[in-house]
Amino acid sequence: MKSLRLFFFFLLSLVAVTAVLSLIMPVKQKLERTITIKAPAAVVFEQLAKLENFNTWAAWNQQDSTVKHTISGTDGTVGAVTTWTGSPEISGDGRMEIVSIEPGKKIVHAITFIKPKKGKAGSFFTLNESNGVSSVIWNFEMDTPRPWNIFNLFYSMDEQMGKDFEKGLAALKTIVEKTTATATSQKIYEVMPMNFPATTYAVVRQQVKWSDITSFFAQHFQILYNDAGKNNAVQGAPTGLYYVWDEKNQQADMAAAIPVSSGISFENTIIRLTDITASKAVYVNYYGAYDKTEDAYKSIDKYLADNKLKQKFPVIEQYITDPATEKDTANWLTKIIFLVE
């Protein structure tokens, strides 16, 4: 009987101690990590804002090859949600929602863990910039409601998960700084306005794989010049006309073309006449190899966006320099023309 009473008092004491500890222990566990990134806050924020990007560099997603994500809503805006399902030992199932955004400064996520254990958490990214360098503070808070908060005595989220947060921020830093370095190395070309004259072209138009463009031009420019030369109809430099540039299938709807006098006819049935009407346009004088024009095109795209101009097709490339007489590609002049309205 005495032993029973002692056991009862022990249980009572245990309950009392548990209740007291539950009252005085915090109901959240918190974690904070910081990293410095050599990029403006606006650039870092652009990477942080989208859930798709977060899913790419978050460390635990890299550890779980089975994890699958879905995104609903407009990514990068308040209300967008990403859900995930993966290995119970690593990712489990859950959802994360963007609940607050201060552009360039702060992003707040609400996280719900569904399996294998239910729970709620908050994730906060805060950005500060000084002299073009940004610090990113990642705060994470996990709810540990009473009475389960007493286990905070035995488990430190900071110690157990801190390394994963550090790895995630390191991956973020690598992505942003690599992107910034690429953007910084981009060559800026002067974009100039012009009035493109009405022009008649003799063309051979086909769907051409990107890898076959050089051979396509070599074959069909020869055909065009042979036939046009018989009529003394050539009016200018060989030209590429690009109607569609298909990134997905890596092919182009394009034409090998030469400007000719109007009203002539050709013996070769693959040659057609195409009229491009007079139009406002912008152009870049690009010197270099034909496959290195990306920065010139980006300069034109930016000019169109900045000046709110709408592009018309085709894109016109005039190949001013003859590679047969000039062997140094650095001296090859291509006039890249965008028709606009």
Least confident segment among 77-81, 157-161, 272-276, 284-288: 157-161
Condensed to tens digits (0 to 9), the pLDDT of residues 27-42 reads 577 899 999 999 888 8
Q: Which two structure tokens, joined as six digits, stand for 288? A: 């270099």
Topology of domain 192-340, CATH: Multidrug-efflux Transporter 1 Regulator Bmrr; Chain A (3.20.80)
> Residue ranges of the domains in the chain?
25-184, 192-340
Helix (H) or strand (E) holding 72: strand 68-72
Contacts for 206-213: CB closer than 8 Å, 24+ residues apart: 206/253, 206/254, 206/255, 207/251, 207/252, 207/253, 208/251, 208/252, 208/254, 209/250, 209/251, 210/250, 210/251, 210/252, 211/250, 213/252, 213/254
Topology of domain 25-184, CATH: Alpha-D-Glucose-1,6-Bisphosphate; Chain A, domain 4 (3.30.530)
Condensed to tens digits (0 to 9), the pLDDT of residues 131-152 reads 889 999 999 988 665 555 555 5
Q: What integer best gives the mean pLDDT of the chain?
A: 86
Residue 65: the pLDDT is: 82
Residue 20: the pLDDT is: 46
**pLDDT over 70 percentage in the chain:** 85
Q: What is the DSSP letter of 293?
A: -
CB atoms within 10 A of CB 57: 20
Q: What's the pLDDT band for 188 if we cut at 50, 70, 90?
A: confident
